[in-house]
A and B are shown apart, each in its own frame.
Chain A
């Protein structure tokens, strides 16, 4: 089963993303409440897709994207960034750093599912 790492500091938002993904019934979901947890998880689990919020304390989502893209192990791992419509600049930065796709909050569950399906075909 493919593994998806969901990094999001708001527990309720994370819960929603996780239940949306779990409804697809074909992935193992790993949750991270901040950038540290994500960094700890990456080397331990073979993650097939990373979904991350941008605005997080200490290690932000952009830094996580940059970390993945500059490490050979995770260079090919698909990345989805999640942000609000306000943070357009941050979103552009994320894509420039190598994120594969973005989602703007609030989004419909189907949007997320389609994106995941496309990236993990």
Chain B
């Protein structure tokens, strides 16, 4: 198993595991100080060390495997309660992980790299040799189905004994879920249980009468009495069996050595008090609940706006106390901003999850296509809204497939072209202000703009005489049904694709750009907002109506002066700093009146980088936070509108979809009448 690809996979995973170990250890340190130690955290740390060992062993990296083995052994003693958590142990854990980090980094450049690990090994052994045993509690006395005991791992048995020693109430919850949704149902139930105690193990059941249901038994140490549990609606589907009653006096505590020279810092559950307070530090929440929170925050903002208006009116009317009201509104505003930020933070997920998914897909596809491809990712810690991460998965997958299938050439072709045999695909995420830019680049055969032009002419999409820029030609790829390939591929299909990708990205108020050099590769850039839910918008007034334009896409606003507008090929434009800026009149787009109005006082310049557009408006109303609501499926065909938003005072406005307006205008789509 020595291929470079496999080695890179190992190194990437080892680096990631080590990083996670560092974070978890820092958390563990905090928990040692607070005396509330979460057993799931320790078990997670143990399992990560275990993974590093397993994989390193397969690669023949004996030094990494050996050190990870010692680390695992130390952690095994810790999780089984044989040694107590303290500062000395924590330091040793941190140092050992640094040792593993040095080894891993060394192997990345030279697989023979090694360091002397004997000092680590000695210190670990010294700590373990002083350890005691915590098998004082017997499970035999329990009224426990032997079939249940048989499937518990040693660690789970330990947690059972530990909780028994603490005099906890031990329960077996029986529940059945439909086959097609059991995993979400079960994880929701489990996370509820984790609020009120510890889930020791989850056991899938044997066949039952109803084949559409899957039964589970959940072994649980509860901190609340059975009556309280049975009353809660979350647990109404569960049947509880008591395995051990709660006792007020804990069984005699087992002897745990603090280790040589270790100052004792509250062993796990050393007092009943600490054990009762230990709670899980993370909660899994349905994204729908966060959406509701986000909407409430948005609506609170609207309410605040109304109150502020009243305060201003009162001040103008010379009412006493109105100053105080204004001050209070100000304070409310600041708190609201904090609240909004906090809720937003909860929704953020690192792009890493998406990258990992792509990594697996690329590996599998490359294998099936018989191509050598290396995927490298950068900026995996960049965060964006969970909803965007979800929505992005499919379009991203499609782009990756295109790269692998059409972009990266077979090895023979690559060698003949003087390229390295292994193709490269790079995924890079960077945050730019309120946007995340995802670049997907490959070093494949690229796209030839001349071929695109030819295809465009064949399909009647391009006037043979027209002067088109490279960008115009690449944009042809987003035309429905446009494909440069004649054969159908199992992966990318034919013709289905980039137009759908583009629609998906636009639906998230994102932008997509393609740049390609024939023979050298293709780069696709996705520019996405960090969050969808609340945006700052510029409210504008056109022909008695208000519209909102997302502020993130507004570059500047200009006063329109007589004589500025010129007409080139039927398109109204203005000259802006030596560049030609096409203009769009919404009254024409939305057919607000029959006559072409030349009224309009301002131009709002929108767009990203070199793709810009000026929207002519009568009035600029100001900036406001808005919560975008979808128009729903029924109106999804309406072009140029991203959704509707409530401005407060019962005023609803349409939010413009800047990206589609730009594309349609720049392409001269007939439906826009511009």
Seen from chain A, the residues whose Cβ lies within 8 Å of a Cβ on chain B are: 9-13, 15-16, 19-20, 22, 35-37, 39-40, 43, 54-55, 57-60, 62-67, 70-73, 84, 86-87, 89-90, 93, 96-97, 105-107, 109
Contact = CB atoms under 8 A, between A and B. Distances in A.
A66 B6 contact: no
Contact of A66 (B53, B147, B153): B147
Nearest to B44: A57
A97 B150 CA distance: 8
A106 B202 contact: no
B54 A106 contact: yes
Interface of B: 1, 6, 9-10, 13-14, 43-44, 47, 50-51, 53-58, 65, 72-73, 76, 147, 150-156, 179, 182-183, 186-187, 190, 201-207, 214, 356, 360, 363, 367
A86 B151 contact: no
The 10 closest A-B pairs by CB, nearest first: A106-B57, A70-B206, A12-B13, A10-B51, A105-B54, A67-B204, A36-B183, A62-B151, A12-B55, A66-B151
A13 B202 contact: no
Given A12-B13, A35-B204, A39-B182, A54 B153 contact: yes
B204 A64 contact: yes
Given A12-B51, A15-B9, A16-B55, A59 B204 contact: yes
A93 B151 contact: yes
Given A10-B54, A54-B153, A86-B73, A39 B360 contact: no
Given A10-B54, A13-B58, A60-B156, 16 more contacts: A9-B47, A15-B6, A16-B58, A20-B1, A35-B204, A36-B186, A37-B183, A40-B183, A59-B202, A66-B151, A70-B205, A105-B57, A106-B57, A106-B58, A106-B65, A109-B1
Contacts of A59: 202-204
30 contacts: A10-B55, A11-B360, A12-B10, A12-B55, A13-B51, A13-B54, A16-B1, A19-B1, A19-B6, A37-B183, A39-B183, A40-B182, A43-B179, A55-B153, A55-B155, A60-B151, A60-B201, A62-B151, A62-B152, A65-B151, A66-B147, A66-B150, A66-B151, A70-B206, A71-B207, A90-B154, A105-B58, A106-B54, A106-B57, A106-B65
A36 B10 CA distance: 25
A59 B186 CA distance: 11
A51 to B, nearest CB: 14
Nearest to B208: A71
Given A60-B201, A86-B76, A97-B151, A22 B367 contact: yes
Contacts of A64: 204
A1 to B, nearest CB: 14
Nearest to B216: A59
A79 to B, nearest CB: 13
Contacts of B156: 60
Contacts of B55: 10, 12-13, 16
Contacts of A87: 153-154
Contacts of A37: 183
Contacts of A11: 13, 356, 360
A37 B360 CA distance: 16
A9 B367 CA distance: 21
A47 B360 CA distance: 21
A15 B150 CA distance: 30
A19 B360 CA distance: 12
A9 to B, nearest CB: 8
A87 B158 CA distance: 14
Nearest to B368: A22
A89 B152 CA distance: 10
